[in-house]
Amino acid sequence: MNETAVTEPRRLPVWAIVLSLLILLAFLALIGWGLKRSMSGPITVGQKVPEFQMTTFDGESLRSTDFVGKVIVLNFWASWCKPCEQEARELEEAYQYYKDTGKVVFLGLAYVDTEYNSKEYLKKFGITYPNGPDLRTTVSQMFRIRGVPETYIIDQSGKLAYVKIGPFGSTQEIIQVIDPLLSR
């Protein structure tokens, strides 16, 4: 009688199974963290704003920490954005209103735009406060913006004081947001 040898299938060592499970769990945790972060929405009023930096179209490097003790008006815009055009002059007028006080800083970041088109937009609307490209959308990702225009007003202590989704309707609307912050 022929006996055929029955061989048991090879089993993975326990350590390989545990290691595989740990790698899978780490991967799932990373995906979960990313989803939570992407779904958490923009920074909310009262939260400390993360430090950010930008380089203007003139090559000047600016950091949010350079403006501690001042109100920062951070506007995200694009030359292709029609609603951005609605508020461009108002933002410039508000900048002119506050520029000599030394208490308010206006910064603009061009979102997903070309340098040429951005500079033409600034020229068209006579915008003179510092503006630059949001390279690799680094700053807009920090603020988790959803589109343009969006404006974030940061108080003197670095906390988000006000968020405007969409265009400001008037220069007076901007002033009504900033003035109470200056009296704190």
Whole-number pLDDT of residue 29: 82
Task: Kindly report whether the peptide bond that precedes residue 149 is cis, defined as omega within 30 degrees of 0.
Answer: yes
Cα 122 to the chain's mean position, in Å?
A: 20
Whole-number pLDDT of residue 10: 82
Walking along the chain (184 residues) 10 residues at a time, the average pLDDT comes out as: 67 87 86 64 85 97 96 98 97 98 98 97 98 95 94 97 97 98 91
Tell whether 87 is covered by a domain: yes
Tell whether 118 is covered by a domain: yes
For residue 61, the domain's CATH number is 3.40.30.10
Whole-number pLDDT of residue 16: 83
Whole-number pLDDT of residue 103: 98
Can you give the three-state secondary structure of the chain, one letter per residue? Answer: CCCCCCCCCCCCCHHHHHHHHHHHHHHHHHHHHHHHHHHCCCCCCCCECCCCEEECCCCCEEEHHHHCCCEEEEEEECCCCHHHHHHHHHHHHHHHHHCCCCCEEEEEEECCCCHHHHHHHHHHCCCCCCEEECHHHHHHHHHCCCCCCEEEEECCCCEEEEEEECCCCCHHHHHHHHHHHHCC
Whole-number pLDDT of residue 141: 93
Q: Identify whether the C-beta of residue 67 lies closer than 8 Å to the C-beta of residue 105.
A: yes
Tell whether 30 is covered by a domain: no
Tell whether 11 is covered by a domain: no
Tell whether 15 is covered by a domain: no
Whole-number pLDDT of residue 38: 55
Tell whether 3 is covered by a domain: no
* Total domains in the fold of the chain: 1
Tell whether 25 is covered by a domain: no
Tell whether 127 is covered by a domain: yes
Whole-number pLDDT of residue 106: 98
Q: What is the pTM of this model?
A: 0.79
CA-closest candidate to residue 50, choices 65, 67, 36, 34: 65
For residue 72, with 0-12 CB atoms within 10 Å meaning exposed, 13-18 middle and 19 or more buried, which class applies? buried
| β-strand partners of 54 | 62
Cα 8 to the chain's mean position, in Å?
A: 58
Expressed as residue numbers, the domain containing 164 is 53-182
Q: Which two tokens stand for residue 161?
A: 């004081």
Question: Up-side HSE of residue 126: CA atoms within 13 Å toward CB?
Answer: 7
